């Protein structure tokens, strides 16, 4: 089952509740929350208080993508704020296994994200512990960037690694996905598709969601 996760990075921050409601009513499956600290990536976005406020306004799965240094300091805070899935970057910690256990210890689903230049083999010995792998198809930090084409092969390789271990975890792709390439991203093996600008930069958010879903399924 292919699921669409709308990234609120490209939503109107003065009208988050409105934009999320439109996306939710149009059939988006997950809400992807991009958390940036100005250190791990050169941009600053939102933190736990905003997640908490939005949690009260939406029934979507909250998929929190932490692009921050020292993620272990903030797992509890995001868990308490209402995250359902917490994804950390492999590049942001020396102790990935411990960090994954910390997320699971909070009763949340655990994901690990890989930057475009990070090889998938860093996950070989922890993938059994995971609920989701996130393959970044742009360098994290900003919405609206172009999809990096080497990601297709990386998605397929990751899918093979997951299958070879007999796992059924989610494989998410994030960055530069729109109606023109979602089909190939899905064919490569992804089942959770993040889209920010393709949804929220559109004049008609609802139509954009439907277009993405149709293009991803066909
Ligand atoms: C990039 C973020 C993405 C981004 C996706 O650092 O992790 O979630 O918002 O936006 P688009 O779909 O516009 O590439
Ligand atoms: Zn993201």
pLDDT in the model for residue 217: 77
174 is catalytic: yes
Q: Within a 10 A sphere around the Cβ of 181, how many other Cβ atoms?
A: 20
pLDDT in the model for residue 41: 98
Please state the atom number of ligand 1 nearest to the C-alpha of residue 43: 6
| Alpha helices in the chain, H assignment, sequence order | 16-25, 48-55, 75-81, 96-105, 151-164, 182-188, 197-200, 205-217
Q: For residue 179, give Cα distances in angstroms to 59, 128, 171, 186, 198.
A: 25, 32, 19, 11, 8
Range of the structural domain that residue 97 is part of:
3-217
Residue pair 205/199 in contact by the 8 Å Cβ criterion? yes
Give the span between the Cα atoms of 53 and 154, in whole angstroms. 36
Domain count, the chain: 1
Residue pair 80/104 in contact by the 8 Å Cβ criterion? no
Give the span between the Cα atoms of 2 and 41, in whole angstroms. 28
Nearest ligand to the CA atom of 145: 1
Q: Within a 10 A sphere around the Cβ of 19, how many other Cβ atoms?
A: 19
Q: Along the chain (218 residues), what's the average pLDDT of each consecutive run of 10 residues? A: 96 98 97 98 98 98 98 98 98 98 98 98 98 99 98 98 98 98 98 98 96 87
pLDDT in the model for residue 218: 60
CATH code of the domain in which 207 resides: 3.20.20.70
- The residue from 29, 63, 170, 174 that is catalytic is 174
Please state the atom number of ligand 1 nearest to the C-alpha of residue 137: 14
pLDDT in the model for residue 132: 99
Give the residues surrounding ligand 1 with Cβ less than 6 Å away: 7, 9-10, 32, 34, 65, 138, 140-145, 174-177, 194-198
Give the span between the Cα atoms of 46 and 37, in whole angstroms. 8
34 is catalytic: yes
Q: Within a 10 A sphere around the Cβ of 188, how many other Cβ atoms?
A: 20
pTM above 0.85, yes or no: yes
Q: Tell me, in angstroms, the distance from the centre of ligand 1 to residue 76's CA.
A: 24
Please state the atom number of ligand 1 nearest to the C-alpha of residue 145: 14
Give the span between the Cα atoms of 115 and 134, in whole angstroms. 9
**What are the residues facing 106 on neighbouring strands?**
none
């Amino acid at each position: 089952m292919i699921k669409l996760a709308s990234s609120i990075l490209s939503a109107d921050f003065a009208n988050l509740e409105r934009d999320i409601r439109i996306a939710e009513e149009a059939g988006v499956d997950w809400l992807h929350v991009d958390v940036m600290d100005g250190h791990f990536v050169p941009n600053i976005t939102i933190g736990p208080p905003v997640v908490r406020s939005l949690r009260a306004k939406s029934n979507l799965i909250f998929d929190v993508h932490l692009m921050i240094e020292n993620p272990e300091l903030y797992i509890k805070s995001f868990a308490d704020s209402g995250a359902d899935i917490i994804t950390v970057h492999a590049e942001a910690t020396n102790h990935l296994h411990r960090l994954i256990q910390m997320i699971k210890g909070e009763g949340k689903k655990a994901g690990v994200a890989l930057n475009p230049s990070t090889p998938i083999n860093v996950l070989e010995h922890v993938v059994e512990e995971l609920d989701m792998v996130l393959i970044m198809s742009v360098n994290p930090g900003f919405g609206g960037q172009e999809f990096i084409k080497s990601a297709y092969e990386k998605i397929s390789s990751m899918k093979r690694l997951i299958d070879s271990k007999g796992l059924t975890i989610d494989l998410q792709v994030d960055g530069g996905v729109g109606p023109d390439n979602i089909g190939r991203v899905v064919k490569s093996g992804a089942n959770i598709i993040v889209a920010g600008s393709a949804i929220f930069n559109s004049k008609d958010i609802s139509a954009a969601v439907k277009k993405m879903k149709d293009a991803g399924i066909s």
